[in-house]
Amino acid sequence: MADPFLQPEEATAAEAIAAIGDELSMFDDWMERYQFIIELGRKLPPFPEEWANDSHRVPGCQSRVWMEAVVRDGLLYFAGASDAAIVSGLVALLLRVYSGRSAEEIGATDPVFLKDLGLLEALSTNRGNGIAAMARKVRDIAALHRAG
């Protein structure tokens, strides 16, 4: 089975945010950006079907979203999936920033980048709340690992 946990493309969360900003700025309108985000979701590692259950579900999302985390060599790796194409893409964006990072780096990386990149304004209120809920879950998991 393929590794469901996303491996980071960039060395740091800040570099990932900058890269995403650069990629989004290449598109002239939001329809093109949506297509790009949906494409990112299609490239997520396959999420194990047995994890698509209530214990992995992220509360506060209109669509169904599931996440799992694992610690490897002191870094947190995340797997995620959604039943909605655009939401899968948003999961992919979040995991690109947060997966494969230390709990400290995750805690220090404010999800305000979602607003800075214009993603929250471009989404419906429910989707915006959902991605905020996903970011909270990632940061809550990191906080537990910092405390633990």
* % of the chain with per-residue pLDDT over 70: 99
Whole-number mean pLDDT of the chain?
91
∠ Cα 78 128 117 (to 5°): 80
Which helix (H) or strand (E) segment holds residue 70: the answer is strand 65-72
Q: Is 107 a domain residue?
A: yes
Query: Which residue range forms the structural domain that includes residue 90?
Result: 13-147
Catalytic: 61?
Answer: yes
Q: Is 108 a domain residue?
A: yes
Res. 148: pLDDT tops 70: no
pLDDT digits (tens, 9 = 90+) for 97-142: 999 999 999 999 998 898 888 887 777 777 777 888 899 999 999 9
pTM of the predicted protein model: 0.92
Q: Which of 13, 17, 40, 61 is catalytic?
A: 61
What pLDDT, on the 0 to 100 scale, is given for residue 123? Answer: 76
Q: What is the mean pLDDT of residues 32-40?
A: 94
* Identity at 103, one-letter amino acid code: A
Dist. CA 68–CA 141, nearest whole Å: 10
Q: Answer for the pair 20, 93: CB distance below 8 angstroms, yes or no.
A: yes
Phi, psi of 78 (to 5 degrees): -120, 145
Please give the tally of structural domains in the chain: 1
Q: Is 138 a domain residue?
A: yes
What pLDDT, on the 0 to 100 scale, is given for residue 1? Answer: 67
Q: Is 4 a domain residue?
A: no
| Surface-to-core class of residue 46, CB atoms within 10 Å of its CB (0-12 exposed, 13-18 middle, 19+ buried) | exposed
Q: Is 89 a domain residue?
A: yes
Q: Is 112 a domain residue?
A: yes
Q: Answer for the pair 136, 128: CB distance below 8 angstroms, yes or no.
A: no
- Of the two residues 36 and 148, the one the predictor is more confident about is 36
Find all residues with CB under 8 Å of 25, minimum gap 6, and list them: none
Q: Is 140 a domain residue?
A: yes
DSSP state of 54: G
Q: Which CATH number do you get for residue 88?
A: 3.90.1010.10
